[in-house]
Amino acid sequence: MFQKMVMFAASLASRGTKNTKIDIPTKQLRSLSCFGDEEIPACPHLKLSKNKNANFCGRCGCGDHKHTWLLKDGGEYSKLDYPVLSCPIKMPGFTNYDPNFYSPESRDRKKQIEETDPEKLQFIQVTIGRNPEKEKILEEINKIAGNS
C-alpha cells in the first residue's frame, strides 16, 4: 500500500502546477499497452467504467474515478498523460517498464508491443471519440499491407 501511495505522489508531482503531459509518442505506446489494436488484444486488466465511455486499470487498485480514466476527450487530462506513471505489469511506455519482467498474462502481448513498428504508433488514438482522418489513413495502410 505504501508503494502505491509513493507512485501516486510521484505521478502527481510530475504533472506539476502547469499540468505537464507526457509526449504524444509515449502516450500512444501506453495506449497500445492498455487497449491493444487490431492485432494485439487489450490488457486483461482493462475495465470499462460505470460511465461506459471510459476505461480504467483494474489491477493498479485506483478504481473507477474520473481522475483514473486512462483516456479522455481531447484537452482533458487523463491518467495516461502523467509524465511519471507506473503500470502494475511493467508494460512499454510506462515509467517502470521492465523488458525482463513478464507476468503469465502479459508475456505474448508485451512481446508484440515491443516489436510494434514505431511508424504504426503514430496512428494510435490517444483521446476518446472518433478521429475520422486518422481512421481513414489507418484503413488505407491496412489495405496496402493486405495487398503486400
Q: Say whether 56 sits in a helix, a strand or coil.
A: strand
pTM of the model: 0.81
- pLDDT tens digits, residue range 77-122? 999 999 999 999 999 999 999 999 988 878 999 999 999 999 999 8
CB 140 within 8 Å of CB 134: no
Q: Left (φ > 0), alpha (ψ -120 to 50) or beta: where does 125 sit?
A: beta
Domain limits, the chain: 2-147
- pLDDT tens digits, residue range 2-20? 777 787 788 888 888 989 9
Question: Residue 102: its pLDDT value, please?
Answer: 86
Task: Look at residue 38 and tell me whether its pLDDT is greater than 70.
Answer: yes
Which CA distances in Å does 45 have to 42, 51, 57?
A: 8, 17, 6
Q: How confident is the model at residue 145 (pLDDT cuts 50, 70, 90)?
A: confident
Task: Look at residue 130 and tell me whether its pLDDT is greater than 70.
Answer: no
Q: Grid coordinates representing 86?
A: 507506473
